[in-house]
Amino acid sequence: MKQNYSSIVILTGAGISAESGLSTFRSENGLWNHHRVEDVATIEAFQRNPEYVHEFYNELKPELLKAKPNPAHLAITKLQNEYPACVSIITQNVDTLHEKAKSHNIYHIHGQINQAVCLNCGQILETWGDVSTETVCPHCAVAGMMKPNIVFFGENLLFMDKVEKLLSTCDLFLSVGTSGVVFPAAAFVQTAKLYGAETFEFNLEKTSNNFYFDHHIFGKAGETLPKFVDDLLATKSGQL
Ligand code: APR
């Protein structure tokens, strides 16, 4: 850990929301153990059976709406508010726990559960309510063209221009709670490292991406990240 950093990028995955009670995707009880990706998370699935795909995301909404941020989310907000650097969050998560923790500079590269996009006019509908094949777009008034604003496998990620800029200019890259198996997000650490960033992985265990990380901090993010942020703040103020 250096004395000071000027640009910090934090990539988060489902693991940062685990201590808020939300399922991850690939653990024993993960979301992909109860539903096939091919049925709910591909554009082909949506074209084949849009009602079923809408229903899957509608059913996730109440739990995500109720979920509260945990100490890991709050530690990032503390870092943003107290550390004199630009701190950006690139999240793979479609929950809004970073927003609920009052963080800012948040980029949902896989979309958001409380949004739908109109395939006719491209406008975003923000809603925690159910969306279906009957939903009328409030912007263009066309019915039946709404899609969950979730990036399906095979679709382009969101905010990639911004992400490229952040990765190529950051000097500290933290990966928190992601298995590092879904690309291109899994390659972000390589880009950051290529441009000279110091890289840390926060996870319960080593991931398949561990080769690219300078440091591994094992444990629950709700415990390890607050300590890391306090150490960073203490180092900055010369107390460590
Ligand atoms: N603290 C830290 N890490 C944790 C915790 C915790 N409390 N609980 C779980 N983890 C770790 C797991 O060890 C695992 O490596 O979080 C990771 C979660 O991995 P996945 O379930 O694969 O979730 P994620 O990496 O976010 O998936 C990436 O895949 O299906 C797509 O779009 C979906 O955004 C998702 C993407």
pLDDT, residue 33, reads 84
Q: What is the pLDDT of residue 239?
A: 66
pLDDT digits (tens, 9 = 90+) for 97-118: 999 999 999 999 999 999 999 9
- Catalytic, 139? Answer no
Q: In ligand 1, which atom is closest to the CA atom of 207?
A: 15
Instruction: Count the Cβ atoms, other than its own, within 10 Å of residue 204.
Output: 14
pLDDT of residue 28: 81
24 lines ligand 1 (CB under 6 A): yes
Q: Report the pLDDT value the prediction gives residue 115, as an integer from 0 to 100.
A: 98
Around Cβ 156, how many Cβ atoms within 10 Å? 8
The pLDDT, as a whole number, for residue 30 is 85
pLDDT for residue 240: 62
What is the reported pLDDT for 18?
Answer: 97
Low-confidence ranges of the chain (pLDDT < 70): 239-240
Residue 29 has a pLDDT of 83
Going from the Cα of 186 to the center of ligand 1, the distance in angstroms, rounded, reads: 11
So what's the pLDDT on residue 34?
84
Is the minimum distance from the CB of 224 to ligand 1 under 6 angstroms?
Answer: no
CA-based Rg of the chain, rounded to a whole angstrom?
Answer: 18
Q: What is the pLDDT of residue 32?
A: 83
Task: Give residue 133's pLDDT.
Answer: 96
